[in-house]
Amino acid sequence: MQEKNRTLGEFIIENQEDFQYSSGELSRIFNSIKLASKVVSYKVNKAGLVDIVGAVGAKNIQGEDQQKLDVYANEIFIQTLTNREIVCGIASEENDDFITIKGKDNGNNNKYVILIDPLDGSSNIDVNVSVGTIFSVYRRISPVGNPVQLEDFLQPGTAQVAAGYVIYGTSTMLVYTTGQGVNGFTLNPAIGTFYLSHPKMKCPKDGLIYSVNEGNYIHFPQGVKDYIKYCQQEEEDRPYSSRYIGSLASDIHRNLIKGGVYLYPTSCKAVKGKLRLLYECNPMAFIIEQAGGKASDGVNRVLEIIPTSLHERTAFFSGSYNMVEKIEDCIHKAY
Please give the annotated binding residues for substrate, written as ranges.
Answer: 120-123, 213, 244, 262-264, 274
Distance separating alpha carbons of residues 244 and 219, to the nearest angstrom = 18
Strand partners, 162: 137
Q: Write out the binding residues for Mg(2+).
A: 93, 117, 119-120, 280
Q: Which does 247 bind (CB under 5 to 8 A by kind): ligand AHG, Mn ion, none?
A: ligand AHG
Interface map 85-104 toward ligand AHG (x if CB under 6 A): --------x-----------
- Residue with smallest beta-carbon separation from Mn ion: 120
Nearer to ligand AHG, 122 or 314 (CB): 122
If one asks whether residue 217 binds ligand AHG (CB under 6 A), the answer comes out as: no
Identify the CA nearest to 106 among candidates 137, 147, 150, 152.
Answer: 147
If one asks whether residue 121 binds ligand AHG (CB under 6 A), the answer comes out as: yes
Q: Which does 80 bind (CB under 5 to 8 A by kind): Mn ion, ligand AHG, none?
A: none
- Report the SS3 class of residue 219: helix
CA dihedral 113, 164, 172, 314 (to 10 degrees): 100
Question: Is residue 189 a contact partner of residue 40, using CB atoms and an 8 Å limit?
Answer: no
Question: How far apart are CB 95 and ligand AHG at their closest, in Å?
Answer: 13
Residues forming the site for Mn ion (CB under 5 A): 64, 93, 117, 119-120, 280
Question: Is residue 292 a contact partner of residue 43, using CB atoms and an 8 Å limit?
Answer: no
Backbone angles phi, psi at 68, to 5 degrees: -55, -40
Nearer to ligand AHG, 161 or 249 (CB): 249
Question: How far apart are CB 267 and ligand AHG at their closest, in Å?
Answer: 9
Q: Which does 45 bind (CB under 5 to 8 A by kind): Mn ion, ligand AHG, none?
A: none
Question: How far apart are CB 260 and ligand AHG at their closest, in Å?
Answer: 14
Distance separating alpha carbons of residues 220 and 264, to the nearest angstrom = 9
Q: Which long-range contacts (CB under 8 A, 24 or more apart) does 179-184 make?
A: 179/18, 179/20, 179/286, 179/290, 180/15, 180/18, 180/290, 181/290, 181/291, 182/256, 182/287, 182/290, 182/291, 183/11
If one asks whether residue 64 binds ligand AHG (CB under 6 A), the answer comes out as: yes
DSSP 25-51: HHHHHHHHHHHHHHHHHHHHHTBTTBT
Among 41, 69, 120, 173, binds ligand AHG (CB under 6 A): 120
Nearer to Mn ion, 7 or 216 (CB): 216
Interface residue list for ligand AHG (CB under 6 A):
64, 93, 117, 120-123, 213, 246-248, 274
